[in-house]
Amino acid sequence: MSSGKHLAKGSAKPVLPDDGVLRLYSMRFCPYAQRAHLVLNAKKVDYHTVFINLTEKPEWLVEVSPLLKVPALQVVAEKGQPSLIESLIIAEYLDEKYPQNPLLPKDALKRAQDKILLERFNGITNAFMKILLQNTGLDDFWTALDIFEQELIKRGTRFFGGDKPGFVDYMIWPWLERLPVIEYVLKDNYNFDEKRFPKVAQLITLLKEDEAVKGFYATPEQHQEFWRTRKAGNASYDLLA
């Protein structure tokens, strides 16, 4: 495990034990990287974390993540120690490779439907970045979230995964955890309406108590502080280190 410090340009490549344990290249406040942490936690799979300073990337990052992206999951036990990228692909790989606590449904149709739902979540991630970077309003964000409220109603379950968190729940959680960042940016214009989103509000409450989520959680204040420093051009990567 990492000390939580983010390695930057000029840093030495970390020497990790030759123990065959997965290595996750991550950034503490990246929602995409968080997806990988959540799945690893949910499956209680052991892994080493190497946190990366994304402003000044270490020179050796290219060796483990050719496109210089996080998350990157290095599967050191496999021949050639290959790395995987793309958070959804990493998450699905982990779900296939480690069958304990299965996250995606077994049924092919239901699996496909969960993946389509996650495609539609792009509406939320896009609206989220627009709000943060261009101070746009919340309309698009709430409209995209309606889809998820309706889907929870349709499924008739507390979690997208049924009576426990599943693939969709963990894949969308990082943005739900960051709703306070929108509040920080929009101030009084932030208006999460529990009457419009009762199921999503309940999901947020429930997921905050989930062990996998608690294992990689940051408070509203921490997310807001990270965003403040990032926006100011001196991202406080090591805030939680």
Which residue numbers are catalytic? 30
Q: Does 56 bind a copy of itself (CB under 8 A)?
A: no
Q: Does 155 bind a copy of itself (CB under 8 A)?
A: no
By beta-carbon proximity to a copy of itself, the closer residue of 7 and 24 is 24
Least distance between a copy of itself and beta carbon 51 (Å): 22
Q: Return the closest-CA partner of residue 75 out of 67, 61, 65.
A: 65
8 A C-beta contact, residue 98 and residue 39 = no
By beta-carbon proximity to a copy of itself, the closer residue of 53 and 83 is 83
| One-letter amino acid of 74 | Q
Q: Does 92 bind a copy of itself (CB under 8 A)?
A: yes
By beta-carbon proximity to a copy of itself, the closer residue of 112 and 133 is 112
Least distance between a copy of itself and beta carbon 82 (Å): 7
- Of 64, 85, 127, 172, which one interacts with a copy of itself (CB under 8 A)? 85
- How far separated are the first and last CA of the chain, in Å rounded? 12
3-state SS class at 195: coil
Q: Does 43 bind a copy of itself (CB under 8 A)?
A: no
8 A C-beta contact, residue 72 and residue 85 = yes
By beta-carbon proximity to a copy of itself, the closer residue of 12 and 116 is 116
Q: What distance in Å separates the CA atoms of residue 139 and residue 127, rounded to the nearest whole number?
A: 9
Least distance between a copy of itself and beta carbon 100 (Å): 14
> How long is the chain?
241
Q: What distance in Å separates the CA atoms of residue 143 and residue 149, rounded to the nearest whole number?
A: 10
8 A C-beta contact, residue 168 and residue 115 = no
Q: What distance in Å separates the CA atoms of residue 26 and residue 3, rounded to the nearest whole number?
A: 13
Q: Does 86 bind a copy of itself (CB under 8 A)?
A: yes
Stretch of 110-118, 167-175, 210-218, 233-241 contacting a copy of itself, by CB under 8 A: 110-118
Q: Does 100 bind a copy of itself (CB under 8 A)?
A: no
8 A C-beta contact, residue 196 and residue 148 = no
8 A C-beta contact, residue 91 and residue 167 = yes
What is the contact mask toward a copy of itself in residues 8 to 37, using x (rule: CB under 8 A)?
A: ------------------------------
Q: Does 113 bind a copy of itself (CB under 8 A)?
A: yes
8 A C-beta contact, residue 38 and residue 216 = yes
Site of interaction with a copy of itself (CB under 8 A) = 75, 78, 82, 84-86, 89-90, 92-93, 96-97, 108-109, 111-113, 115-116, 119
